[in-house]
Chain A
Amino acid sequence: SQTIHQWPATLVQPVGSPLSLECTVEGTSNPNLYWYRQAAGRGLQLLFYSVGIGQISSEVPQNLSASRPQDRQFILSSKKLLLSDSGFYLCAWKGQMNTGELFFGEGSRLTVL
């Protein structure tokens, strides 16, 4: 069966520090991978998605970047965090032939102080 893991689960970082959130998927090949952020009153906002290794699409301009160094690994990064980067970040995957259902990781709570 397929599983998705992301870490760390919680992170408290000072403004200006770097960020790295990691997500891995097991039990499937060539998944579509996604990073979402949950913000109050705005639901789940799509930040990045990837259809393959090295292929990253950004949905909104921001202080973050994403990379996909391996087929089942998706990394969310920042060189210098802003206060506004605080939030709940969710990684998700979808099979290539799937109609649209996403499977989400456990989420990572980031607090920037």
Chain B
Amino acid sequence: DQQVKQNSPSLSVQEGRISILNCDYTNSMFDYFLWYKKYPAEGPTFLISISSIKDKNEDGRFTVFLNKSAKHLSLHIVPSQPGDSAVYFCAASARTSGSRLTFGEGTQLTVNP
């Protein structure tokens, strides 16, 4: 049962444009959401997070939006840069499950110069 889903395995955008990565979840107990970025042969690194009491969190070029009613979150990167090319993982956790993270399948973002 895939509780966190990233339906787009890949996304290609032009440098300078906006990248929008999407994530859907099914577990209504999830109350904390994170995005991780992963380069090949490296461990994922934390990018940005959002608590369920918010619907938006912004950090520089990165903004995460949370729509609790739709159980959907998205990561916006603007402007996109070639160095943003990586696999992006969405993750969710619930306090009731000890805050263990459940990850999505990942989306490969390619930013073309």
The segment from B11-19, B41-49, B58-66, B70-78 that touches chain A is B41-49
Complex interface bits, A88-109 against B, C-beta within 8 A gives 1, otherwise 0: 1010101000111111111101
Tell whether, in the assembled complex, residue A90 and residue B9 are in contact, meaning their CB atoms are under 8 Å apart. Answer: no
- Cα A45 to Cα B4 in complex, Å, equals 11
Q: Which residues of A contact B27 (CB under 8 A)?
A: none
Query: Which of B42, B43, B44, B49 touches A100 (beta carbons < 8 Å)?
Result: B49
Of A14-22, A36-44, A61-69, the segment with at least 4 beta carbons within 8 Å of chain B is: A36-44
Answer yes or no: B80 CB below 8 A from chain A CBs. no
Q: A44-B44, A51-B98, A101-B34 are in contact. List 4 more A-B contacts (CB 8 A).
A: A41-B105, A43-B89, A102-B46, A103-B46
> Which residues of B are at the interface with A, using a C-beta cutoff of 8 A?
4, 6, 9, 32, 34, 36, 41-46, 49, 51, 89, 91, 93, 98-106
| 8 tightest Cβ-Cβ pairs between the two chains A and B | A104-B43, A44-B103, A43-B105, A100-B93, A43-B103, A100-B32, A100-B99, A107-B43
